[in-house]
Amino acid sequence: MLPAAASVRAVASFRMGASSRADLARGGQGRQTPAVRSADASPQITLRIVHYRGYRFAVPADWPVVDDNAGGCVRFDEHAVYLGAPSSDQFCPSWLIGTTESMLIEPGPAKAALSSREDPVARQIVAHAPGIKITATFDTDPGLIDRILAGAKLPAPTIDAPTLEGSARPASDQAAHMHYPMARPPLPAAVTSYIGLGFDSCSAPSSRYMHVWRRRSPYRAVGIYIGGADRACAQPNLGRRWVRRQAEDGWRFMPLYAGPQAAFGELGHPGRQGRSAAIDAVVAARRLGFGPHTPLYYDMEAYRPRARLLALRFLSAWTRTVHRLGYRSGVYSSSDSGIVDLARQYRNRHYAMPDIIFDALWNGSRSTRDRNVRLRQWSRHRRIHQFRGNVTRTFGGDRLNIDVDFLNVRVGAATLTSQQTPAVTQPDGTVLAFYVRNDKQLWLARQPSRHGWAKPVATGATAYSNPSAVWTGARTAVFYKDRAGYLRVSYYRADGKLASRRRLTMMGILGSSPRAVSSTGGVIDVFWRGSVDDHLWHGQFTPGSGWNGPQGLGGDLATPPSAVTSSPGFTAVFWKGTNGCLWVMSRGISGKWAPPRNLGMARVGGTPQATSQPNGSIEVYWSGFRNPFLWEAFFNSRRHWQGPRDLGGDLGSAPLAVSAAGAVRVLWRDRKGQLEYTEHRAGDGWNVLSWSGPTSGHHMISAAPFAAVGGGGKRVPVFWHGKRGALWTAVLDGPRLTHPVRLT
């Protein structure tokens, strides 16, 4: 990123060429870069011949040729030809931004097919030929790159602008799928949440550097340039595998996109350019594995006041498009230009405001305070402050030139259904509860936010298993087994109206009720016991890719599975094994499933039920083996198991565990048919329980209760079937249960 003052000084001569911008950033006066003529004037350019791996390239004679890039910096803001693969540990100035006509030629696969593609939004051409790969950038003269490629007998580039067609909407159920291994889910948006120090550099450091800095430096978040027409540095390390590896190592991210700059006079059509940049950024984010709701930060360097309206129009179009595509919007800019301009328009609905600001104010203050931003603007963990820039830091012998940041960012998980449930509380407070009557008909009970219950309605579906519902961010999906044993899913809009139904025959015949959870970004995981074996099976829905599965995960199940998710990106599935013990299988942020594991919690009497906490801890409950007691095991955020613990009680059904407002509530039907429950505070260790004892007689229930998960509040709607199958509901408000209401 350019120092704020330097990029303002560069405005007066923004068409000098990228190398002049770099000179100005270093405090010099700049030099006029000779403009490269268009095709009709090309004979006036003096050329030189460069040979590389059997290919002959005719390039302008005044372009430097850098052979063997080891230890240097491949930068696209200056005219140059770079030969050889870039070093994985480049030492690049942190302030670089902008591109001009430049070319990197490096080794490629020996049998690569001839191809050449131009991305006009990123102003980049990528060509492949046997033995080589070419990455070229351009500013105003892509024709020059065309002529260099033609001189090497490589094909002319085809225009390949980024598009999200076909990936912006769910694929059909009949889409192709893999049986094993299954594609890893995208990274949760929580990998961009952090409060503390971070850094950003022009080129993503190698994994070796990142590992050393994670152990030796005070930084825990890293800014990475995922794309953009003015991304000045080569990115030999940055890819899906690199991002996933750093996330596993505990790094958090600030994904930056360096597109057209107001300071360089590049905003000729700000609305259209803002939309195109947003689409390109989302494509790049998906390619790197970042899932929906991830904040993407537009890098708008400091600009002069006369460019204010163009910048605001561009950033507004960026934000609206990023939101439409399911991601969060962030903006990086100088405090005295982009940030103050946005702050002045914060309440003006004419411009869309970003969700998070990334404020460049090099005052050395490790906070997010800025006199240009009012206290309530971008409050509640929606700010980043770049408080120092262009500094060199060394940790463990590994040196980088960086900008230093203080983050105060928390990305919520409003779309999370963290545990299996037949009922969900949507973010607006609306409750949808699904249940099956004796005639196998699936029914829906709905309570609009802050209103009474509507009369339950038959959904028209026939269910041969208990339903499992999840909130996906836009709709509620309910899963159940049909008469033939296949997995069915019905989608309901936020108002409770049926949107669509699908039969997922690809998953085969289910041997138990399906159990579903959803994660931030709309990923749905469904689990069941096999029909011809006792193994755990898995199906996965990913936005943009559709359904994937089935995936056999192994194990030997004696009960249906119980699934939970916790932040960030952790999913665990529990069951009673055929040996009578408690088993678990988990998937972390790596996206890989660990082998089934016997937790050694003694023998389990019934189906285990699990619940989870935002800090990553998990509680599991079950009825005792040959005793009616409630038992608990605890998985803390440090990934250690504790237990088992005998909680007493008198269980006549499987326990129901649900988390809300930092407390765990466990409910069950006792052996007298009454509803009984207890609660304790959630944390990283055992806590004292608070017992309610049995409820009064009119709470007689015929089966295990269930609850509505989600909503984020402390009030938990609870449901149970009473005499003759009637459905009742009450609300757990803290330790108290409200007066019950009969729904049917």
Compute the CA torsion angle 140, 142, 147, 148 (nearest 10 deg). 100
Residue 554 in this model has a pLDDT that exceeds 60 = yes
Alpha-carbon span 665 to 429, nearest angstrom: 20
The last residue of a domain, from among 382, 409, 436: 409
pLDDT digits (tens, 9 = 90+) for 467-481: 999 998 889 999 999
H/E run at residue 679:
strand 675-681
Contacts within 8 Å (CB) and 24+ apart, 590-599: 590/184, 590/244, 590/248, 591/184, 591/185, 591/244, 592/184, 593/553, 595/554, 596/536, 596/553, 596/554, 596/555, 599/633, 599/641
Residue 494 lies in a domain: no
pLDDT over threshold 60, residue 165: no
Q: How many H helices and E strands in the chain?
A: 8, 46
Omega before 354 within 30 of 0, i.e. cis = no
User: 490 near 504, Cβ under 8 Å?
Assistant: no
8 Å CB contact between 300 and 281: no
Q: Is the domain of 235 the same as that of 375?
A: yes
Please answer whether residues 647 and 678 qualify as being in contact, where contact means their C-beta atoms are separated by less than 8 angstroms: yes
pLDDT at position 349: 87
How sure is the predictor about 692, in pLDDT bands with cuts at 50, 70 and 90? low
Q: List the CATH number of the domain containing 520.
A: 2.120.10.70
Summarize the confidence of residues 407-430 as an average pLDDT. 86
Q: Same domain, yes or no, for 394 and 521?
A: no
Identify which of 363, 391, 342 has the alpha carbon closest to the alpha carbon of residue 200: 391
Query: Are residues 208 and 335 located together in one domain of the fold?
Result: yes
Inside any domain, residue 727: yes
In a domain, 174, yes or no: no
Describe the chain by its helix, strand, coil percentages, rounded to 5: 15, 40, 45
The percent of residues in the chain predicted with pLDDT above 70, rounded, is 88
212 vs 626: which has the higher pLDDT: 212
Q: Mean pLDDT lowest for which of 144-153, 365-374, 383-392, 607-616?
A: 607-616
| pTM over the 0.85 mark | yes
Question: Does 253 map to a domain?
Answer: yes
Give the tens place of pLDDT for each residue, 273-322. 999 999 999 999 999 999 989 999 999 999 999 999 999 999 999 999 99
For residues 521 and 388, membership in a common domain is answered with no
Q: How far apart are CA 159 and CA 511, in angstroms?
A: 50
Give, as one character, the DSSP assignment of residue 639.
S
d(CA 633, CA 599): 9
> Could you tell me if 198 and 330 lie in one domain?
yes
The Cα–Cα gap between 467 and 224 comes to 42
Q: State how far Cα 86 lies from the chain centre.
A: 29
Helix axes 240-248, 207-216, angle to 10 degrees: 20
Query: What is the model's pLDDT at position 36?
Result: 33
530: phi then psi, degrees, rounded to nearest 5: -65, 160
Structure-token match 């060429």, residue found: 17
Q: In what order do the strands lie in the sheet with 487-492?
A: 468-471, 476-481, 487-492, 498-504
Write down the pLDDT at residue 21. Answer: 32
* E strand or H helix that includes residue 278: helix 270-287
Phi first, then psi: give them for residue 314, nearest 5 degrees.
-65, -50
Does some domain include residue 709? yes
- Structural contact between residues 509 and 464, judged by C-beta atoms closer than 8 angstroms: no
Give the residue-averaged pLDDT of 573-594. 93
Closest CA relative to residue 256, chosen from 279, 239, 237, 281: 281
Q: How confident is the model at residue 647 (pLDDT cuts 50, 70, 90)?
A: confident
Query: Dihedral sign, CA of 117, 122, 123, 124?
Result: negative
Q: Which range marks the domain in which residue 534 is found?
A: 508-742
Query: Could you tell me which residues are beta bridge partners of residue 675?
Result: 669
Structure tokens at 600: 């050694």
Q: Which residues contact 412 (CB under 8 A, 6 or more apart)?
A: none
> Burial level of 155, CB count in 10 A (0-12/13-18/19+)?
middle
Which of 84-88, 170-174, 335-339, 483-487 is the least confident region?
170-174
> Would you list the DSSP string of 205-258?
PPHHHHHHHHHHSS--EEEEEEE-TT--B--SS-SHHHHHHHHHTT-EEEEEE-
Report the mean per-residue pLDDT for the chain: 87
Give the residue with greater pLDDT, 69 vs 392: 392
Tell me the DSSP string of 282-322: HHHHHHTTB-TT-EEEEE-----GGGHHHHHHHHHHHHHHH
Q: Cα–Cα distances in Å, from 295 out to 103, 164, 279, 283?
A: 31, 18, 14, 13
Residue 473 resides in a domain: no
pLDDT value at 17 more than 70: no
Q: Tell me the C-alpha distance between 258 and 121, whole Å.
A: 11
Q: What total number of domains does the chain contain?
A: 2
The angle, 0 to 180 degrees and rounded to 10, between the axes of the packed helices 308-324 and 270-287 is 40
- The torsion region of residue 594 among left (phi > 0), alpha (psi -120 to 50) and beta comes to beta
Tokens of 52: 């590389």
Angle at 264 between CA 262 and CA 269, to 5 degrees: 50
What digits encode the pLDDT tens for the residues 177-208? 334 467 789 999 999 999 999 999 999 999 99
Query: What is the largest distance, in Å, between two alpha-carbon atoms of the chain?
Result: 98
628-646 residue pLDDT tens: 899 999 888 677 888 899 9
pLDDT of 166 = 42
Q: Rounded to a whole number, what is the distance in angstroms from the first to the last CA of the chain? A: 63
What pLDDT shows up at residue 16? 30
Q: Which of 409, 436, 460 is the last residue of a domain?
A: 409
Domain boundary residue, one of 387, 409, 431: 409
271: domain CATH number is: 3.20.20.80
Question: Could you give the CA distance from residue 542 to residue 523 in angstroms, rounded to a whole number?
Answer: 5
For residue 594, give both structure tokens.
């660990």
Same domain? 401 vs 513: no
List, edge to edge, every strand of the sheet that includes 570-576.
562-566, 570-576, 581-587, 597-603
Residue 536 covered by a domain: yes
Please tell me whether residues 403 and 535 are part of one structural domain: no
In a domain, 475, yes or no: no
